[in-house]
Structure 1
């Protein structure tokens, strides 16, 4: 079954594919190879000269880190827009830590959290690890002690530590006022 080239709002699926590919820096040839089709097919699709089957559209969407629905309706093609502070998803953890998810779900390429640590607050008594990703911890306000694989660093405002999420690590507010931290993790980790 081939998908119609034009969505209900009149915008071509091919144009959305081309925009998504450009936004992600994926070449036409790479998209074609990873989706299991020819570069000529992708070119024809992007220019509205070809229809596409559901299975091929699913493959293309997967390579682009999108869903078929996003390609068809285009609502999320430019990101989700503004996230107001009061609309952040909040996790109140033990130990004086409040963590806020900033990245859009479902998580695809990047996982971003903001956090507040009360004086003496921490991510827990024991270091933790998760997945196999690159993680950056940035101190936005106050000071935090970051322990990575047994080595400790005290970060002041504007300092960061870059680590592998598979290495056990933990954070602790090393100051006398609430500390603010930003976590950036790529790719997102499942646990």
Structure 2
């Protein structure tokens, strides 16, 4: 690749090194997606042979082709060059989890990280008496699972209450009005798992 405006390509990188690094990242993301070269080729309008050479750093690719490859992998072109976001295992320390704005007495943290976004995972903490808000809410129409990690909560689904304790879970559509409340005297911690991701 010769376009130095793309992230991840410094002047210190030789073109060969950049091609090899890019190819390795494409292969890792493809393997994480459990896609064959043929499947990626069909989605990106490229031959499996070309993709194989690209993954080995033996050929260059146009920006247009990289856009198609990235889209087929559920990424952006910038993701392919982002050296700070490795495609392998990524550890997110509890203290480093991004926190989202929530109702008073509760905290919501994003666990799942970009760029592979097949699902969203959030951790929630509820002080005694705290909730997700006075009103039930919806977001998209995805499969959502709520798992209670500690304490106990009440999950209200379309006006119907479900009392859950540690280890209990409940599954529902995110399009169903839902609300979580901790009416107990101890804090509660939960996990939300949503697939596919939905806008908040």
TM-score of the superposed pair, with normalisation by structure 1? 0.85
Q: Distance in 2 between matches of 1:37 and 1:160?
A: 43
Deviations 1:30-64 (A, max 9, x none): 21111122223222322333321101101111221
SS in 1 for 2:80: helix
CA contact (8 A) 2:53 2:59 kept: yes
CA pair 165-6 structure 1, distance change in 2 beyond 3 A:
farther
> 2:152 matched to 1:135?
no
- Alpha-carbon offset, residue 173 of structure 1: 1.0
SS in 1 for 2:172: strand
Pick aligned residue for 1:6 from 9, 16, 25: 16
Pick aligned residue for 2:41 from 26, 32, 35: 32
**Where does residue 72 of structure 1 map in the other structure?**
81
**Where does residue 18 of structure 1 map in the other structure?**
27
Q: Distance in 1 between matches of 2:27 and 2:115?
A: 22
SS in 2 for 1:76: coil
> 2:157 matched to 1:144?
no
Q: How does 1:1-191 map to 2 (within 5 A)?
A: 6-8=16-18, 11-79=20-88, 81-105=90-114, 108-191=117-200
- Alpha-carbon offset, residue 92 of structure 1: 4.8
SS in 1 for 2:130: coil
CA pair 183-169 structure 1, distance change in 2 beyond 3 A:
same
Unaligned runs of 5+ in 1: none
More strand as a share of residues: 1
Deviations 1:8-36 (A, max 9, x none): 4x734222212211111112222111112
- Alpha-carbon offset, residue 180 of structure 1: 0.6
- Alpha-carbon offset, residue 79 of structure 1: 5.0
CA pair 72-135 structure 1, distance change in 2 beyond 3 A:
same
CA contact (8 A) 1:7 1:73 kept: no
RMSD between aligned residues: 2.5
